[in-house]
């Protein structure tokens, strides 16, 4: 057995405890486990983390989104992530009721063992600016090779965007996909992000800024950055922001730029007011 998909069942903590007895068996070589939306709480996360610490070297993908982890559950999981024998590459924890303390624990664990994780999905949690600052301390580590980061609907404001952009400028060559829709970036937050995009070492291919309270001022900063370094980005999502005629014109010109022939801007021909 290499892959087990059990999402959408009523496992609960008791069910996960039974499954954990399998995971801790040294003969178990499971690589992918999907337990999304399985009504798992703190005790289930504790059992799962404990079992995987006993046998940490095979699991590569752990999908746990839609469960009630909370900060306590994530702290148990963090004890697995900091194990040098843990080779986890993909971790999905979206909508798991995680707050700042959970983000702090997660960041601390990943700083201890940063080189394996490639995809981190944390959308729908209460990160706030403080939580993102903790996570940024991982992103700026040169040993961090994260390629996909999802932080949609995480209550992130200007300070969070500043921290995120600063961290990625320190280590810009690995990130390929950044999902940030539904946060309160505003024009100031997007200006910080634009300083990352204009870095020639930035290899970001997909950037999602849907419903991020951006107006023409932010769009001008974004367009200016992309004119400076247009070759990497492939997908830019801007729907649901306050896109005025001048910004539309700028982005339209950017799409037609000879170095931007692969760039697709979604939402550049519409104005959807928040």
| 80 touches 51 (CB < 8 A) | no
CA-CA-CA-CA torsion sign (44, 47, 53, 54): negative
| 227 touches 254 (CB < 8 A) | yes
Any domain includes 142: yes
Any domain includes 273: no
Per-run averaged pLDDT (10 residues), the chain, 274 residues: 97 97 95 98 97 95 98 96 95 98 97 95 98 97 96 98 97 96 96 94 95 92 84 88 74 65 69 34
How crowded is residue 140: how many other Cβ atoms within 10 Å of its Cβ?
17
CA distance 59 to 56: 7
Q: Where are the alpha helices (DSSP H) in 198-273?
A: 216-228, 245-256
Q: What is the pLDDT of residue 257?
A: 62
Structural domain that includes position 218:
3-266
Any domain includes 189: yes
What CATH number does residue 17 fall under?
Answer: 3.80.10.10
How crowded is residue 102: how many other Cβ atoms within 10 Å of its Cβ?
27
Any domain includes 274: no
Any domain includes 85: yes
**Total domain count, the chain:** 1
CA-CA-CA-CA torsion sign (71, 72, 73, 77): positive
Q: State the pTM of this model.
A: 0.93
Q: Interior CA angle at 223 toward 265 and 199, to 5°?
A: 105
Any domain includes 11: yes
Any domain includes 272: no
State whether residue 115 is helix, strand or coil.
Answer: coil
């Amino acid at each position: 057995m290499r892959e087990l998909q059990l999402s959408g069942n009523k496992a609960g903590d008791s069910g996960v405890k039974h499954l954990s007895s399998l995971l801790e068996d040294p003969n178990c070589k499971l690589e992918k486990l999907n337990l999304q939306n399985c009504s798992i709480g703190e005790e289930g996360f504790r059992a799962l983390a404990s079992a995987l610490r006993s046998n940490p070297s095979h699991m590569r993908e752990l999908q746990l989104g839609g469960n009630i982890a909370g900060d306590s559950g994530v702290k148990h999981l963090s004890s697995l992530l900091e194990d040098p024998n843990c080779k986890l590459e993909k971790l999905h924890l979206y909508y798991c009721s995680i707050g700042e303390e959970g983000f702090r624990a997660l960041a601390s664990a990943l700083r201890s063992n940063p080189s394996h994780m490639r995809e981190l999905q944390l959308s729908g949690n209460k990160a706030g600016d403080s939580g993102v600052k903790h996570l940024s301390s991982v992103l700026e580590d040169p040993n961090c090779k994260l390629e996909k980061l999802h932080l949609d609907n995480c209550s992130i404001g200007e300070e969070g965007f500043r921290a995120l952009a600063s961290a990625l400028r320190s280590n810009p060559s690995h990130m390929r996909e950044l999902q940030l829709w539904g946060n309160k970036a505003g024009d100031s937050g997007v200006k910080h992000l634009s300083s990352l995009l204009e870095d020639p070492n930035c290899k970001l291919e997909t950037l999602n800024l849907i419903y991020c309270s951006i107006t023409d001022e932010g769009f001008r900063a974004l367009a200016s950055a992309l004119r400076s370094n247009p070759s990497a980005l492939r997908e830019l999502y801007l729907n649901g922001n306050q896109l005025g005629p001048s910004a539309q014109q700028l982005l339209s010109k950017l799409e037609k730029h000879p170095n931007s022939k692969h760039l697709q801007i979604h939402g550049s021909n519409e104005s959807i007011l928040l």
